[in-house]
Structure 1
Amino acid sequence: MTSTTPIRIALVDDQKLFRGGLRMILSDNENFNVVFEAGNGKQFFERLAFEPVDVVILDVEMPIMDGIETLKLIKEKYPEVHVIMLTMHDNDRLINHLMQEGASGFLLKDENPEVVRTAVERVAQEGIYFRDYVSKALLKGGRQKSDSASYGGPEITERERQVLCLICQEFTSKEIAEKLFISARTVEGHRRSLQDKTGSRNIVGLVLYAVKNGIV
């Protein structure tokens, strides 16, 4: 019996069989609670009004109201809700666009079940989860925008830069603390300072800032 509050999850995909598969994958973890399922964005918001969730696993391609439109509205009305986008397509431009719109993670539909469970845990705890193809897409997009120009933003200390680089490499606060021989609370302090300096609302924004400005 776990003493932690289960992560409340919504599954949004127009394929019932796929949603059922996701539910089975997530039901193996007692820290997960699939609150509801929906076949499109419109159904999702109708349910969300009465059944709050922490994490949404959201398909990109759906009828009536697709994943991109749904993501934008979630970030506008429920910014505290984390969104993991699902798609069949490993497309750099799509990944960059979804992360710019506020997605906390991105998964292909043929991922290993353990990857899906890890993604939900990381997004709920740290606010972001990258697969290698996501990191490559962001770095590629960042290089194109920065054109290798020297960094000219607010002053970032060497320790903050170390923390930022490790965040961009998917390390959790606890793991960063262990690597830098500091406390997790100190890591959180550096992260808040970085967000304040860069004007980033969350970790996703912080990572995008780092990539665009050539810090990583």
Structure 2
Amino acid sequence: MSLKNVRIAIVDDQKLFRGGLKMILSGVADFRVVFEAGNGKQFFDRLAFEPVDIVILDVEMPVMDGISTLQQIRKSHPDVKVIMLTMHESERLINHLMQQGANGFLLKDEDPEVVIQAVRRVAQDGVYFRDYVSQALLKSNRARNGQGGTRTMLKARLSDRELEVLTLICQEYTSKEIADQLYISVRTVEGHRRSLQEKTGSRNLAGLVLYAVNNGIV
């Protein structure tokens, strides 16, 4: 997705919060807040007439909550990227939302600069996760499977270069930064990302991060 004119929807049941978020995003030249909605049903009613690239979606809402909305987006609008808004760093919730295909997470008390960075990263690379997300996923994975990973097994499926690219993706490097660090082209990085998604069965970069955490790569 180009960083020019990124179309955004804000879905949250608190009008004041939506207004503040819209003010933050409207101050960025490349962003355009297309519409706001108070719940998932209102979102889909508007989406039918006003397409967007990114949805900033609250988890807890009346009528149709964020989890149900995310699930429906993945079924009916798979190209729309979703940044989930949460109040709590819940390991169980984060794992579940990643499984459902969330592209990123933000706590509702993040600084404005973090919100802008999250939208930019999701628009450009399809994924944005703060440190607390990686930590929550790692804790949850260890609790389920113990401390051991499966890196040796994965090396038989993924090449060394693919493992390098996947590790850097999980460290929040952009495609350009990965290319610079590995001395390869951005197009080559994109090729490795597509190959990784095919081999791991991941629908998007969020799925790749989840795969890496669950298999002890990071």
Superposition TM-score, scaled by structure 1 size: 0.95
- Pairwise CA RMSD of aligned residues? 1.4
Tell me which residue corresponds to 1:103. Answer: 102
Question: Matches of 1:189 and 1:98 in 2, distance apart?
Answer: 26
- 1:212 equivalent in structure 2: 214
How far apart are the structure 2 equivalents of 1:6 and 1:64?
30
Which residue is 1:150 aligned to?
A: 150
Structure 2: 5+ residue runs without aligned partners?
none
Distance 1:200 1:29, change over 3 A: same
Indicate conservation of the 8 Å contact 1:59/1:67, yes or no: yes
The correspondence of residues 42-61 of structure 1 with structure 2, limited to 5 A, is 42-61=41-60
* Alignment-mate amino acid for residue 52 of structure 2: V
Q: Percent identity?
A: 70
Segments of 5+ residues of structure 1 without an aligned counterpart are none
Cα deviation for residue 143 of structure 1 reads 2.7
**CA positional deviation for 1:78:** 0.7
Structure 1 residue runs of 4+, over 2 Å off?
141-147, 149-154
Deviation string 1:106-158 (CA, Å, 9 cap, x unpaired) is 11111000100110110111110011101111222233344314343452111
SS of match in other structure, 2:94: helix
In structure 1, the residue matched to 2:116 is 117
Cα distance in structure 1, aligned partners of 2:11 and 2:72: 14
Q: Secondary structure at the match of 1:106?
A: strand
Secondary structure at the counterpart of residue 172 of structure 2: coil
* Conservation of the 8 A alpha-carbon contact between 1:143 and 1:211: no
Partner Cα distance (2:29, 2:14) in 1:
25
Instruction: Classify 1:13/1:112 alpha carbon distance in 2 versus 1 (closer, same or farther; 3 Å).
Output: same
> For each residue in 1:51-109, what CA deviation from the matched residue of structure 2 results, as whole angstroms up to 9, or x when unmatched?
00000000111111111111111111111101111121121111111111111111111
Q: Does 1:139 align with 2:156?
A: no
Aligned residues: 214
Mapping of residues 15-94 of structure 1, within 5 Å: 15-94=14-93
Distance across 2 between alignment mates of 1:198 and 1:88: 31
